[in-house]
């Protein structure tokens, strides 16, 4: 084999390895992979349901071991139902779409599922028109999730019951309701993420500056250049 043939063979091998790598990456997920787990959710009436939480993840970042979450889907079967339903949110700051919500509470009242969420970050908070108290509420109605005002969210639903996202290197496949509660206590989560406030929080608006979308992408304070 002469030098030209030898180099051609090397290029063929490298090309094959790269192709295999792309295929493996595609099989792992279009954006680099996923993570999921099941957790028990303690409802207001003492019942427990099991939900599955699934995240699509971005490609690895060498500066950060924890991959960026691209979206989240929560799937569960309400008590007495014979079908599963899902709730989904994307995590993208680069689009004006209403998104990037962190789920705090999931419950069923009168056979109807409800979810309380909070904007995940200041950009999301501004996308959702800076609500105070800082929550976005949903009700499952006629086969879809519909946003509802605070006044329509059942007053009996007070305490958060959904676990915050665990780190990938400590992730388990299943969490009991007791483990969920313990995880929330261990991570010293802000009060407004553990209890659903029904009156404005005086200091909340100061935490996130007022931001507006910029033509061509990005966000800035009004009047800035």
Query: pTM value?
Result: 0.81
Provide the CB-side half-sphere exposure for 108 (13 A, CA): 18
Cβ atoms of residues 110 and 119 within 8 Å:
no
Tokens of 18: 């790269």
Q: What is the pLDDT of residue 63?
A: 59
Whether residue 13 has pLDDT greater than 70: no
Whether residue 202 has pLDDT greater than 60: yes
Q: What is the pLDDT of residue 224?
A: 59
Cβ atoms of residues 191 and 210 within 8 Å:
no
Domain boundaries, the chain: 1-30, 31-215
DSSP 81-100: -SS-EEEEEE--SSS-SS--
Mean pLDDT, the chain, as a whole number?
84
pLDDT in tens, 209-219: 888 888 777 77
């Amino acid at each position: 084999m002469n030098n030209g043939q030898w180099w051609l063979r090397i290029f063929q091998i490298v090309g094959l390895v790269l192709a295999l790598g792309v295929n493996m990456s595609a099989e792992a997920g279009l954006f680099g992979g996923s993570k999921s787990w099941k957790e028990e959710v303690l409802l207001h009436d003492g019942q427990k349901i099991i939900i599955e939480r699934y995240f699509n993840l971005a490609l690895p970042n060498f500066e950060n071991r924890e991959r960026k979450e691209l979206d989240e889907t929560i799937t569960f079967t309400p008590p007495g139902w014979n079908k599963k339903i899902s709730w989904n949110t994307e995590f993208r700051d680069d689009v004006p779409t209403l998104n990037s919500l962190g789920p705090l509470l999931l419950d069923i009242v009168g056979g109807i599922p409800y979810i309380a969420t909070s904007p995940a970050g200041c950009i999301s908070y501004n996308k959702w028109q800076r609500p105070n108290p800082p929550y976005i509420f949903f009700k499952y109605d006629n086969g879809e999730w519909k946003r509802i005002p605070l006044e329509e969210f059942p007053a009996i639903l007070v305490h958060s019951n959904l676990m915050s996202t665990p780190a990938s290197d400590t992730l388990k496949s299943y969490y009991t309701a007791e483990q969920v509660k313990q995880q929330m206590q261990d991570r010293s989560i802000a009060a407004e993420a553990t209890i659903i406030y029904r009156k404005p929080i005086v200091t909340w608006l100061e935490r996130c500056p007022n931001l507006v979308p910029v033509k061509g992408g990005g966000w800035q304070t009004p009047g800035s250049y």
